[in-house]
Amino acid sequence: MDFQYFKKKIADVKIKDILTIFPFMGAFVLSKVIGKKYRNYWLVCEDAMEARDNGYWFFKYLCENTDVQCCYAIKSTSPDYHKVEELGPLIEYGSFKHWLVYLSCKYNISSQKGGKPNAALCAFLELNNIVKVKNVFLQHGVIINDTKWLYAENSKIDYFITSTSQETSFIRKLFGYKENVIQYTGLPRFDNLHDFKTVHNRILIMPSWRAWFYEKSAQIDESDADFAHSDYLRYWKELISSSVLNQIIHDKGLEVIFYPHRNMQPFLHYFDGITDDVTIASCEEYDVQELLKSSELLITDYSSVFFDMVYMKKPVVFFQFDEEKFRKQQYQKGYFDYHNTAFGDYCTSAEEVLSSLSKHIDDSYAVTEEFLLEHSQVFEKYDTHNSRRIYEVLSVNLP
């Protein structure tokens, strides 16, 4: 284990994380008695409140195409609960039963590294070999940054799913995993991106998250947690309330939807009442994949969700006003160069973003030949068999 990394992350541990030691201990003892009941289970999840990412799409594939014993962990208060309930058996996320199945199952499969009954405690238990769980990391997106928290020394991952050839090479070279851990199959959610219907002139604005607003380990000083006076709020408000954007919306008949990353949704109320011309979208009301599939163009910053748009051969605009701070306090630069890609225009001001948007509208959102060439080089696996390939990898170890 990287003890410097571990020491830094201790700052993010909460009292509730420590208290989960008690249900863990009970489940650990009971798993020795009745654990055989769940030993062939494939336990699938995402975030506690979600079923709309790679975990959901893989679970859907398992339920509809295989006879695998599988179950999905999710909070019963999730807006996605009933959607996934129609597919197969559910477990209350973080419950005693979640602990019991997690400790006993064949595979723990998640789009989140922390997709477990309690991320902090489970990381400690796994990295110190107190429990042995076979983790399958489906990913939340395409890895493009030097994400040290995913290095082998900081993670217990048995199968690491990758989605592009460049990403696969990057992880194999830098992250320290054994060769057979990295499995280049494509992401399950990509299976559902071949069948889409675009809403004319719908523009999606989807900023990524910033760790320093709520993780002490990412903060340099207390001011980093002050969202109300942050550059993040100032720059995104400037864009969506711009009189220039307002004029484009009315002149071109645009529908603009502002949908921040799920980690930024608690701050959504700061954007209320800014403008009537942009829809401020919450995750309770909107499904992220449906927004991506229906939009003509995406404006984002560092979010790798832009790969989903690019996968569908749609244009992207990158708005990166805080790149230096982002690289210093969140993710260091990886292999992807936002400054030099045919996939999207690199912008540092609202004016540049709106200029790029206007150009794409005038071009009817068409992508260039350079875009299509880069697309073919990145997405070598461009089909609807991503979930099937993952299933085939995991089935090799079935008894």
Strands 107-110 and 42-45: parallel
Q: How far apart are the first and last CA of the chain?
A: 31
Query: Residue 317 and residue 346: Cα distance in Å, rounded?
Result: 7
Query: Residue 36 and residue 321: Cα distance in Å, rounded?
Result: 53
Q: Which residues of 338-373 are buried (b: 16+ CB within 10 A; e: fewer)?
A: beebebbbbbeebebbbebbeebbeeebebeeebee
Helix, strand, coil content of the chain in percent (nearest 5): 45, 15, 40
φ and ψ of 322, to 5 deg: -130, 40
Tokens 């997709």 found at: 115
φ and ψ of 37, to 5 deg: -60, -30
**pTM for this prediction:** 0.91
Query: Residue 197 and residue 182: Cα distance in Å, rounded?
Result: 33
Asked if 257 and 291 touch (Cβ cutoff 8 Å), the reply is yes
What's the token pair of residue 277?
């011309």
- pLDDT, one tens digit for every residue, the chain (399 residues): 555 666 566 667 788 878 899 999 999 999 999 989 999 999 999 999 999 999 999 999 999 999 999 999 999 999 999 999 999 999 999 999 999 999 999 999 999 999 999 999 999 999 999 999 999 999 988 999 999 999 999 999 999 999 999 999 999 999 999 989 999 999 999 999 999 999 999 999 999 999 999 888 899 999 999 999 999 999 999 999 999 999 999 999 999 999 999 999 999 999 998 999 999 999 999 999 999 999 999 999 999 999 999 999 999 999 999 999 999 999 999 999 999 999 999 999 999 999 999 999 999 999 999 999 999 999 999 999 999 999 999 998 654
Q: Which domains does the chain have, with CATH numbers?
A: 3-191+384-395 (3.40.50.11820), 202-378 (3.40.50.12580)
